[in-house]
Amino acid sequence: MTNNIKLQEVCKQLHIPVVGTTSWPLPPEAREILREANPCPFTAADLETRLTGTPDFMPRSAIVCLFPYHVPYDGPKNLSRYTWANDYHLVVTNYLQNLIDELMNINSNALFSIHCDTSPLADRYMAYLAGLGFYGKNKCFINPIWGSYIVIGTVLTTLEFEPNSPLTNTCMGCNRCISSCLGQCLNTDEFKYSTCKSYLTQKKGDLTDEEQSIIKKSPLLFGCDVCQEVCPHNKDIPITPIAEFQSIEPYVDINELESLTNKEFKAKYGHRAFSWRGKKIILRNHEYITKS
């Protein structure tokens, strides 16, 4: 079994601030925990895929890493915090590849696969099993030090690590996220994604009057941070230690955006996490927000 202390040392050298491990495949009870009657379209609908992933090998362990992105800022903004810096998909993948390169020095025969958000894996549940935090009532994953402003990256591997145990910490249950939610999508046990502003700002096509009214409730053109901004677990958290997340651009100029061709938009913003939807959706959201 590979030494967990060695893994911690390697992650420290690579400036990965939080790491834990859990066994793979996931435990049998994961099937019931992850089952959703009406899953968000941005989540893999196939439960079996979320439980098993799509690697072409048989992993023994999952290495789960957290990448904080919080930077204190009170100026003008029209983008959600997670899009303020370089696209986290690119940043996290680079860190995890560096981790794999180091682990290959321990065992050159080991196999690995990288997963970050766009994969079907149940990343929050895996982070919970790896002892890295707990669930908030806003459905966010919360780390005791870094709060919910974190991105989860996972490496499945044939290396076998001693699995960590889940934390006993829990959400303090203040219900501020529930009462503050712009679309009141947290009022039931099951997350009502269809009225979540973050989802609506990414949904394609023309929106209904009700959906438009939700988008109008805050100036963000992409995403929504309200349930995280009011969360006590995010109070006085440290600035991100991830260098790539420290240089931020919280605001996109709509006038400039309108003048860009799609090719120019991709060239200018292709390294940002909001760019995947293209400029058309962002301009549509601006129209809804400014419409009288």
Residue partners of 143: CB distance under 8 A and separation at least 6: 18, 66, 68, 132, 133, 150
| Rounded Cα distance, 132 and 141, in Å | 9
Tell me the mean pLDDT per 10 residues along the chain, length 292: 85 98 87 68 64 80 97 96 97 98 93 85 91 95 98 96 96 96 88 94 96 98 98 98 97 96 96 95 97 82
Question: What's the pLDDT score for residue 276?
Answer: 93
Question: What's the pLDDT score for residue 232?
Answer: 98
The pTM of the full predicted model, rounded to 2 decimals, is 0.93
Question: What's the pLDDT score for residue 51?
Answer: 67
Using a 10 angstrom Cβ sphere, with 0-12 exposed, 13-18 middle and 19 or more buried, the burial of residue 133 is buried
Query: What residues are annotated to the active site?
Result: 117
Question: What's the pLDDT score for residue 49?
Answer: 67
